[in-house]
Amino acid sequence: MATAERTFLLPCTCSARVSVTAGQAGGRTVCAACSREIDVPRLRDLAAYAVDQPRGTVVPRSGLGRGLVVAGCAVAISAAVLASSLVPIGGLFFPQPTTVTEIRAAVSAAPPTDVHSAWQSMARSSVARPATQEELRLQQFAAHAAGVANLLWGISGIGLVVAVAGAAIAASGRSVGGGAPQ
Ligand SMILES: [Zn+2]
C-alpha cells in the first residue's frame, strides 16, 4: 500500500515539479503548470526522484514545533537536574527529618561528607535547646535552596508545557501538509 502510493517529483522544462506515482512509471504525464507532456521514467530510474514525504509538502509550522520540543525539553531537563541537585541539601537540614524513615531517606540522598557533618551535629544536639548559629545558618541556607529548587521546578514545568505544545504544533503541521498536497 505504501509502495503503491509512493510519490515522485519530476522536474519539468518549465522548472515546475510534477508529482507522479509508481503506477505511472514508464508512461506519460502532463505538467500542471505548462501543460507539456512529460515522459515518466521506468520504475528503477524513478527511485532517484523519490520524496520522503509521500503526501504534500512539509509546512514550516512542523519545523517550529520540533524546535519548541527540543528547546522545551532542554529547559525542562536542565532545570529539573539543577532543582534535584538542591533538594537533598534542603531535605537533610530543613525541615528536620522527624521519623527514622525520613532520616534514612535524607542520609541516603546526601553525599558522604554531608552525612558525616550531619551526624556530628546530631551527636552534639539535645532535644530542648536553642539552635546554634551554625544550625540557624544552615536552616536559612536550606530554606533559600528549597525556594530556588521550587522556582527551578516551576521553570522545568514550563519547559515541559512548551515541549508538549511544540509536539502538538508539529503534529498539526504534518496533518495540514497531508491534507493539502501541492
Ligand atoms: Zn511544465
Domains of the chain: which residue ranges? 7-49, 60-179
Ligand 1 geometric centre to CA of 14 (Å):
4
**Which helix H or strand E contains 8, and what residues bound it?**
strand 7-11
Dihedral over Cα of 75, 81, 86, 91: its sign: positive
Ligand 1 geometric centre to CA of 11 (Å):
8
CA distance 129 to 159: 45
Q: b or e along 90-108 (b: 16 or more beta carbons within 10 Å of the residue's beta carbon)?
A: bbbbbeebeeeeeeeebee
pLDDT band with cut points at 50, 70 and 90 for residue 121: low
**DSSP per residue, 129-161:** SPPPHHHHHHHHHHHHHHHHHHHHHHHHHHHHH
Ligand 1 geometric centre to CA of 176 (Å):
26
- Alpha carbon 92 to its chain centroid, in Å, reads 31
Which has the minimum average pLDDT: 21-30, 58-67, 88-97, 134-143?
88-97
Ligand 1 geometric centre to CA of 156 (Å):
52
The pLDDT score that the predictor gives to residue 100 is 62
Give the mean pLDDT of 112-132.
67
Ligand 1 geometric centre to CA of 37 (Å):
8
- The mean of the pLDDT values for the chain is 77
* Alpha helices, H only, 48-132: 60-93, 100-109, 112-124
pTM comes to 0.39
Ligand 1 geometric centre to CA of 57 (Å):
19
CA distance 2 to 91: 55
Q: Which amino acid, one-letter code, is at 51?
A: V
Residues near ion ligand 1 (Cβ under 5 Å): 12, 14, 16, 31, 33-34, 36
The pLDDT score that the predictor gives to residue 178 is 47
CA distance 61 to 95: 47
Ligand 1 geometric centre to CA of 18 (Å):
8
Ligand 1 geometric centre to CA of 128 (Å):
92
Closest CA to 82 of 150, 11, 129: 150
Give 70's contacts (C-beta < 8 A, 6+ positions apart): 166
Ligand 1 geometric centre to CA of 118 (Å):
80
88-119 pLDDT, tens digit each: 654 544 555 456 666 667 667 776 777 667 66
Give 169's contacts (C-beta < 8 A, 6+ positions apart): 61, 62, 64, 65, 68
